[in-house]
Amino acid sequence: MIRIGDVLVSKGEGGVYSERMLDGYRVWDPYRSKLAALYLLGKGIELVPGMKVLYLGAANGTTVSHVADYTEVVYAVEFAPRPMQDLLEVARRRKNVMPILADASCPEQYAMLVEAVDLLYQDVAQPDQAAIALRNCIFLKKGGHLVLMLKTRSVDIRKEPAEVFRDTLDILISAGLTIVESTWLAPYHQDHAAIICEK
């Protein structure tokens, strides 16, 4: 990942969401992007040229645009029509972003559009986040990685965040994934955790 001093950046055309520019690079803000927070916490899977990414919960393409700056192709799934309008604009300016209007809990809706990927990134903030991730592992190459951004309060508001975190780890391990690392995203995002698994 490219850093200028302590600042995480990506190399690409700016002006996607009024992000700052630094020495010609786009500043990737950890308070706006959980993935940027993960990298600034010293964890995560390195994004490299040639990498194929399936991104679930693309929203308006803020993080998608940075991922696309580093990788070969990003299949960006989002089910809400409003953010999809912004995502389409990101895709117009970044030819390696493939926007897909679909429900990530039904991967059969987009199976014909997506190839096997090296990285499955999920940020959907749903109660059944782990189940959605597992369903989409059909697209993940053996040895590929899942990065699951867990919003613990969306899974079960009555449970302690730490309990939701542990339960989710158990679900992923029971499904046969290997946990590579996991971390809370504080101080950037409260009650959010990142779980990185290998298939």
Q: Which stretch binds ligand SAM (CB under 6 A): 40-48, 59-67, 109-117, 155-163?
A: 59-67
Q: Is 75 in the site for ligand SAM (CB under 6 A)?
A: no
**∠ Cα 119 62 54 (to 5°):** 20
Measured distance CA(190)–CA(151) in Å, rounded: 9
Residue from 19, 29, 78, 118 that binds ligand SAM (CB under 6 A)? 78
Compute the distance between CA of residue 36 and CA of residue 135 in angstroms, rounded to an integer: 25
Binding flag, residue 57, ligand SAM (CB under 6 A): yes
Of residues 137-166, those binding ligand SAM (CB under 6 A):
none
DSSP 8-state class, residue 58: -
C-alpha to C-alpha distance for 141 and 11, rounded to whole angstroms = 26
Nearer to ligand SAM, 103 or 191 (CB): 103
Sign of CA dihedral 67, 68, 72, 74: positive
Whether 75 and 96 have beta carbons less than 8 Å apart is answered as: no
Interface with ligand SAM, residue 179, by CB under 6 A: no
Report the DSSP beta bridge partners of residue 3: 8
> Tokens at residue 157, please?
């508001």
Per-residue mark of binding to ligand SAM, 87-106 (x: CB under 6 A): ----------------xxx-
Interface of this chain with ligand SAM, residues 15 to 34, rule: CB under 6 A: 33
Q: Which is nearer to ligand SAM, 121 or 165 (CB)?
A: 121
Site string for ligand SAM, 113-132 (x = CB under 6 A): ----------xxxx------
- Closest residue to ligand SAM in the complex (CB): 57
Q: Provide the edge-to-edge strand list for the sheet that holds 2-4.
A: 2-4, 7-10, 25-27, 21-22
Q: Does 69 bind ligand SAM (CB under 6 A)?
A: no
Would you tell me which residues interact with ligand SAM (CB under 6 A)?
Answer: 33, 57, 59, 62-63, 77-80, 83, 103-105, 123-126
